[in-house]
């Protein structure tokens, strides 16, 4: 019995509905086709940074388009997204960073120093990994794309998500 995984379901949906809106927040939006392209590039970047199938990729950012693209990119790289609450205090963060045990954490710039101090091995800018066009702007060809909650909670596997900023 064939059981499609989340990546194959996403790819199929992107082929069928490429020009439809997929993710929207107050500052940016992407179509299914843009998300497919951006997350392919971001997944390759994660692999180039040492992420292997079965690893966890940490994400520490507010709910936004780039976060969801990062989560999909992690899945495409064969990794699991480990979500770190972007509002965790510096005192609480070391426990969650250790629990996620990610070779790479993609985060909002304002969280980089506190994540490094908490023991994150490699911290990268989520917006560099998953650069998204401003709302209403097309994505540039070849533009890269890449994820949060150390409690073990994982995002629901849905065909469409809308992130708010």
For residue range 130-151, what is the model confidence (pLDDT) as tens digits? 988 766 555 444 433 333 333 3
Check pLDDT > 70 for residue 60.
yes
Cα distance between residue 47 and residue 42, in whole Å: 9
Check pLDDT > 80 for residue 21.
yes
Instruction: Quote the pLDDT of residue 146.
Output: 31
CA torsion, points 128, 116, 91, 126, in degrees to nearest 10? Answer: 10
- Interhelix angle 32-48/6-16, rounded to 10 degrees, is 140
CB 102 within 8 A of CB 93: no
Of 3.40.50.720, 3.40.50.300, 3.30.365.10, 3.40.50.980, the CATH number of 6-129 is: 3.40.50.980
Token readout for 140 is 């540039």
Check pLDDT > 50 for residue 160.
no
Specify the residue for token string 């510096």: 90
């Amino acid at each position: 019995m064939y059981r499609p995984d989340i990546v194959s379901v996403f790819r199929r949906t992107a082929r069928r509905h490429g020009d439809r809106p997929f993710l929207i927040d107050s500052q940016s939006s992407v179509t299914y086709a843009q998300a497919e392209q951006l997350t392919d590039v971001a997944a390759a970047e994660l692999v180039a940074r040492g992420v292997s199938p079965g690893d966890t990729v940490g994400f520490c950012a507010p709910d936004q388009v780039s976060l969801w693209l990062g989560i999909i990119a992690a899945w495409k790289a064969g990794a699991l997204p480990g979500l770190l609450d972007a509002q965790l205090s510096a005192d609480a963060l070391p426990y969650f960073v250790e629990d996620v045990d990610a070779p790479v954490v993609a985060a909002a710039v304002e969280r980089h120093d506190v994540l490094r101090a908490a023991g994150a091995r490699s911290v990268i800018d989520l917006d560099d990994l998953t650069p998204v066009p401003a709302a209403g702007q097309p994505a540039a060809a070849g533009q890269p794309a890449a994820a949060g909650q150390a409690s073990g909670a994982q995002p629901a596997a849905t065909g469409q998500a809308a992130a708010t900023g």
